[in-house]
Chain A
């Protein structure tokens, strides 16, 4: 699986958009980009994933560059409850190979 690089920490003002970058320059054609977050000491929570097209759901938007070497997770209106560690993960979804490799992620702090 391709490795990812994320900034260790970021701050964002409450109500503003939080933009979390991720580099995955060695991503291969069949690998998806997943985002999970971990609030305090809870189990990680799935946010969104994508292959090559931009994706949006009720939680966030995922923007993937055309060359797929980087992506940005966007939380459109950050709240204090969005304070968490955010993990960018690259993985295939082949049957029987459903393994996610978590790095150290980005610690996002929402400032009141």
Chain B
């Protein structure tokens, strides 16, 4: 049981390049989330999904797109990276169907630098 995994762990991009971050969970959770954390700050929600095939905007969605084609995977895309997107990105999942509360399980993070 690996929990929540993220690929890659580190990445350096040039301004304007694109990339996709992959999040996978093996807990059969319904909900998945993407957060970003800037130095000295708390986490901010980018996008989230309440089920396969659904996505919704969070607090800071601009410049990002997401897809949830399979229940266990949640992809975060940057179409044209900007230096302001330099951050650590965390994926999380939660809520087993029939569960009673929302404990979120987090991945180890992806450290992204945009030059």
In the assembled complex, B74 has its CB within 8 A of some CB on chain A? no
Q: By the criterion of a CB under 8 Å from any partner CB, how many residues of chain A are at the interface? A: 21
Distance in angstroms from B17 CB to nearest chain A CB is: 24
In the assembled complex, B8 has its CB within 8 A of some CB on chain A? no
Cα A104 to Cα B44 with chains together (Å): 11
In the assembled complex, A17 has its CB within 8 A of some CB on chain B? no
Cα A93 to Cα B35 with chains together (Å): 19
Which of under 10, 10 to 19, 20 to 34, or 35 or more describes the interface residues of B? 20 to 34
- CB-CB under 8 A for A102 and B43, given A32-B101, A43-B4, A44-B90: yes
Binding site for B on A (CB under 8 A): 32, 36, 41-46, 49, 87, 91, 93, 96, 98-105
A-B contact pairs, 25 of them (CB 8 A): A41-B109, A43-B109, A44-B43, A44-B92, A44-B104, A44-B106, A46-B103, A46-B104, A46-B105, A49-B101, A91-B102, A93-B102, A98-B31, A98-B48, A98-B95, A98-B102, A99-B45, A99-B48, A99-B58, A100-B102, A101-B42, A102-B43, A103-B42, A104-B40, A104-B41
